Structures are given as C-alpha cells and as structure tokens.
Chains A and B, each alone.
Chain A
Amino acid sequence: MKEFAYLRPTRIHDALTAAAGRDDVRYLAGGTNLVDLMKDEVYRPAVLVDVRHLPLDGVRDAPDGGLVIGATTTNSDVAAHPHVRLRYPALSQAILAGASGQLRNMATVAGNLLQRTRCGYFADPSQPCNKRAPGSGCPAIAGEHHNHAILDWSEHCAATHASDMAVALAAFDAVVHYETLDGPGIVTLADLYLPPGTTPDRETTLPAGALITAVALPGAAASRRSRYRKVRERASYAFATVSAAASLDVRDGRVHDVRIALGGVAARPWRARHAEAVLAQQAATTEHFRAAARAELEAARPLRGNAYKVALAENLITAVLDDLAASHDGSAAPYDTQEGSR
C-alpha cells in the first residue's frame, strides 16, 4: 500500500477544500471497500479525508412524510431504524441481506452507493480491466462472467453494481444530496449511475470532489408494502446473483401502484419501468406479474455464461409481486421482513 496522509475534518467545507481539484484524495467512510481496494493497490490515494466526523449522521423525518438519511449513517442504523422498518421495509431488508453484521456496522449509506463492482478482474491489477485501467480490455466478456450483467452492458465492460441497498433505494425513487465548493446539488438515484458505454471507469454523474451529504426518500404510502428478495450462492453473506425490490398497492384487485427494481443484472440498480407500465391497472394476478417480468427482460442480452439470470430475474419479479399481492388478502402480511433463503 502507498503512504498517505489522513485528515479528520469536522466541517464540510474543510472536507471539500481538502479534496478540491485533486484526483489523489479520497473520502474515507467505513473503509470496507476503500481500504480493501487500497490493499489490492486498485486505489493509491495520497490523502484520505475521513468523513465520519462530519455532521452527517442520523435519520430524520421529512415534511413530505419521507425520510432523510445522513450520508455517514451506518447501514446497521438504517436497517434497524423504526421508521425505515415501518415505512420502507424493503430498504431494511435489502441492507440486512447484504454483507455481515460487522461490515454493516462500518458501512455507510454514501460508501455503499459508491462501492465498486465485485468483478474479480477489477480487483486484480495483474489483469487487464477497462474499468480500472481504461483501454486495457475486458477479460470478463470472454472469461469468467457468470455473475455479470445481462442488461445494458457494453463490449467494454459487463460488470454489475454490487449494492443491495441501492436496489431498494431505486425502487423508492431516492434522491442523493451532495455538496461541492460551488454549492449543493441533487441527483436522483436513477440518474446517479452511468451505463458502461465506452468509459466504464466513469461510474457516476457526481461532479469531481462532490461529497454526498444525504439520501432522501420521498413519502409514499405504497412503500409500506414493500419487499426485498435476494438470490445468492449461499444462504447468507454473499453478493446477489439476482435480487429484486418491489412495492405494490392493489385496489379492488387491480394494480394501483407498483415499483420494481433489480440488482445483479446491470451496472446500476435496474428500475423495471417497462414492467411497471405493463402492470398499471391490470388485475393483480400471477399471470400478469409474469408477463410484466417477461416484458422487462425482453431487452436482456445474456453473456455465454450467465443466461440463467434471465429466468431467475423473471421468476424473482413474479414471486416478489405474488408475495406482496398475498399480503393484501388480510392474511398475515409478510411484506416487512426478509424471507431468509434458508
């Protein structure tokens, strides 16, 4: 690991000033991704600016009935927060489905959003990788890619975004707030991530040096009936192969409001807007859920070794919506707990 300076500012302005105009300065939050990638020499910063002593911790209610989650709030605190569990159960479930208790205690909201892909070539500087070393090539497309993208990838990179939390945030139309020395800005979660295209090294639309300060969840009654399900290669403590977050509001047997997002299928959390449009005002039946899932996945272009994800995503969307619809029957409402994949 290369030597670096460590700064611990307590004012946002000082953090922004330290990072301004330099590409060798990185914000340090929980460090669970940053320190890991520094050990691998993927990152070689000259300065780390610790953001955890900035006044950015905590969850508060927003006037519109939503929530504002401070950027340095730990994943554990978000998942355990009573208002998150009550109003955005899929967010709590998504976080709890990821990593381990230790890592969730360290990981922050902002760090989770900006974590890098788990593509094995990316973390190994002895290998080519367009995301890490632009122009060096993408060995994954001809090589090991069983957990890579099926949607919106390019010949330059087929990596997925690894976050569970971001999938739930995408379904809930979350908005990311940030600060720069030129003033504050906002970007919706849908617009935060860039498709790989010809520049997979560029992952977000944030301006250089931007400090994420908070993530806002708009108030929405439908979010209370929401659920996250994750399929992975072991029962716990593994990244998603495919995951789905959804909320569903059924009135008189018809879909009144539905939101669906997928994880593990693209370089960003994949909001399934096509499926949502197909379902609008349809009868809330398994057949319609499956047809909507199929419509969404028509755009899928699997690689040689990951076609299984297309069927998996279809089944997962259908199953999650089925669960949510069943919770409308007045029977036990299972929509606010994670069904373990035990």
Chain B
Amino acid sequence: MSDRTRSAITLHANGDARALTVDNRRTLLDALRDDLGLTGAKKGCDHGQCGACTVLVNGRRVVSCLTLAAAADGSEVTTVEGLAGADRLSPLQEAFVRLDGLQCGFCTPGQLCSATAVLAEHAAGWPSAATRPDRPYAPGRPTPALDAAEIRERMSGNLCRCGAYPQIVRAVLEAARDTAAEHAHTPETGAADLEESHA
C-alpha cells in the first residue's frame, strides 16, 4: 500500500476472518479491543509484565501488548471470548467459576488463556523450571502430572492484584486432572509440533 506506516491485515479471531487496516504502531491488544470489539483481553501494564493481555496466537500464548498487529497478519488469534464451546464453558472456565478463581475478574481473561496454553504445553511434554529436580530427562518417558508447584511456576506470567492465586491454582489443577487421563501416556519428548520445524 502507498502509506508505508499502515498495513492491511487479516486476523482470524476466534474463527472469524476479520480484515482491517492498522497503523503499524497498533498492538494486537489494541486492535482486538478497539478495532474488533473483543474487549476480553485486558490492558494491565502494556509492557509485557502482567499477563492480563494474554491471548493465543496460532495456538501459543503470547502477550498481545508487545505483539504488533501488523506482525500478527494472517494469524489465528484466540481470545477469552473464543475459549468456550457453542453451549458450554471450557472445563477450565467451569473450574474457575466453581472454585472462585477470581475476585475482581480483571486478570481472569489472561489467566484463562494462559492456563489453556499451560495444559496444552504440558500435554506436549514441555518442561518448566519447577520440573522435579530428581528426575532427569529421558526421551520417551511419560510426562509427570501437573502439581501445584508446576502450575504456580507455569502461570507466573499472570499477575493477580486481588491475590486470588490459591483458587486459581486449584482451578487449573482440577481442570488438569480432568484432562489428565487423556494424556496419561504422552511421551516426554517436547512438543510434537517442534518436529515440523526441525527440517
């Protein structure tokens, strides 16, 4: 386009292809909230420090405040609005409601998107800084179940000023247990989608 400081982009937001023209300075967070009306993702710090703006881009959690909308052109973006099924909440959302995983709710969309990714990362065999020190990596061994320490570590990029952490950890733990059976035999190899990028 003639104006080099703007870009025509398409975002696949929660399954809908949305075409828009953005100033290159626009962050994905501002584009979602102000251009697409998806106000679930919140602006806490705007500097990558609090996690309130967490969304999934091509299935991976990112902070949308440090992602440029122009750089997200063509991506699949999932916000908190896209986590639920057609007529029911996701198991994680249900667990947050059941176990009071929030107080004011400002951090909750980011917590939910982040936790959704935590379950997927764990299922893909990704380790964390809390992965048990007495357990050296061995290819092919099943991934150990998530425990509270793992969840605290993996969720540490999401701050909660209300201090709802104990309930958040409990909710994620419960949702993780619900899905654990599914992934009980996933080998501890690292993400399956990694293999594609080896070539």
Q: Chain A residues in contact with chain B, CB under 8 A?
A: 1, 3-6, 8, 28, 30-32, 35-36, 39, 48, 50, 52, 57-60, 73, 76-77, 79-82, 85-86, 89, 92-93, 96-97, 99-103, 105-106, 235-237, 332-340, 342
Q: A48-B24, A59-B194 are in contact. List 9 more A-B contacts (CB 8 A).
A: A6-B7, A58-B197, A79-B126, A79-B127, A80-B124, A101-B118, A334-B133, A337-B127, A337-B134
B47 touches A36 (CB 8 A): yes
**A334: B residues at CB distance < 8 A:** 133-134, 136
**A28: B residues at CB distance < 8 A:** 68, 71
- The verdict on A100 contacting B157 (CB below 8 Å), with A58-B197, A80-B190, A334-B133 known, is yes
B133 touches A86 (CB 8 A): no
Closest to A342 in B: B149
CA distance A179 to B196 in the complex (A): 25
A52 touches B24 (CB 8 A): no
**B197: A residues at CB distance < 8 A:** 57-59, 73, 77
Interface hits, B84-119 → A, CB 8 Å: 114, 117-118
B160 within 8 A of A: no
For the complex of A and B, the 7 pairs showing the least CB-CB separation, nearest first, are: A100-B157, A236-B156, A5-B4, A58-B197, A80-B190, A237-B156, A3-B5
Interface hits, B132-166 → A, CB 8 Å: 132-137, 139, 149, 152-158
Closest to A50 in B: B71
B78 within 8 A of A: no
**B149: A residues at CB distance < 8 A:** 340, 342
Which of B48, B71, B135 interacts with A103 by CB under 8 Å?
B48
Mark the stretch among B13-21, B54-62, B172-180 that contacts chain A: B54-62
Which of A6, A52, A337 interacts with B131 by CB under 8 Å?
A337
A76 touches B66 (CB 8 A): no
CA distance A31 to B129 in the complex (A): 23
Which of B62, B189, B198, B199 interacts with A102 by CB under 8 Å?
B62
Cβ of B97 to closest chain A Cβ, rounded Å: 23
CA distance A73 to B153 in the complex (A): 23
- Is chain B's interface secondary structure helix, strand, loop, or mixed overall? loop
B61 touches A101 (CB 8 A): yes
B66 touches A338 (CB 8 A): no
Which of B23, B66, B155, B191 interacts with A80 by CB under 8 Å?
B191
A3 touches B47 (CB 8 A): no
Interface pairs (28), CB distance under 8 Å:
A3-B5, A5-B5, A28-B68, A30-B66, A31-B66, A32-B63, A36-B48, A57-B197, A58-B198, A76-B60, A76-B126, A77-B194, A80-B125, A81-B190, A85-B137, A101-B128, A102-B63, A102-B157, A106-B63, A235-B153, A236-B152, A333-B136, A334-B133, A337-B127, A337-B134, A337-B135, A340-B149, A340-B153
**B154: A residues at CB distance < 8 A:** 101
**A76: B residues at CB distance < 8 A:** 60, 121, 126
**B130: A residues at CB distance < 8 A:** 338, 340, 342
**B125: A residues at CB distance < 8 A:** 80
**A332: B residues at CB distance < 8 A:** 134-136
**B185: A residues at CB distance < 8 A:** none
Closest to B66 in A: A35
> Total contacts A to B, CB within 8 angstroms?
159
B67 within 8 A of A: yes
**B66: A residues at CB distance < 8 A:** 30-32, 35-36, 103, 106
CA distance A339 to B5 in the complex (A): 46
B129 touches A103 (CB 8 A): no
B133 touches A338 (CB 8 A): yes
CA distance A271 to B123 in the complex (A): 36
Closest to A327 in B: B136
A336 touches B136 (CB 8 A): yes
Closest to B190 in A: A80
B80 within 8 A of A: no
Cβ of A255 to closest chain B Cβ, rounded Å: 21
- The verdict on A101 contacting B121 (CB below 8 Å), with A28-B71, A31-B71, A340-B153 known, is yes
B70 within 8 A of A: yes
**A89: B residues at CB distance < 8 A:** 136-137
B24 touches A6 (CB 8 A): yes
Cβ of B4 to closest chain A Cβ, rounded Å: 4
A39 touches B47 (CB 8 A): yes
CA distance A35 to B71 in the complex (A): 11
**B61: A residues at CB distance < 8 A:** 101-102, 105
Which of A58, A77, A97, A102 interacts with B129 by CB under 8 Å?
A97
Cβ of A110 to closest chain B Cβ, rounded Å: 15
Cβ of B167 to closest chain A Cβ, rounded Å: 19
**A235: B residues at CB distance < 8 A:** 152-153, 156
B23 touches A3 (CB 8 A): yes
B131 touches A80 (CB 8 A): no
B5 touches A4 (CB 8 A): yes
Closest to A82 in B: B190
Closest to A1 in B: B25
Among A6, A31, A105, A235, max chain B CB count under 10 A is at: A6
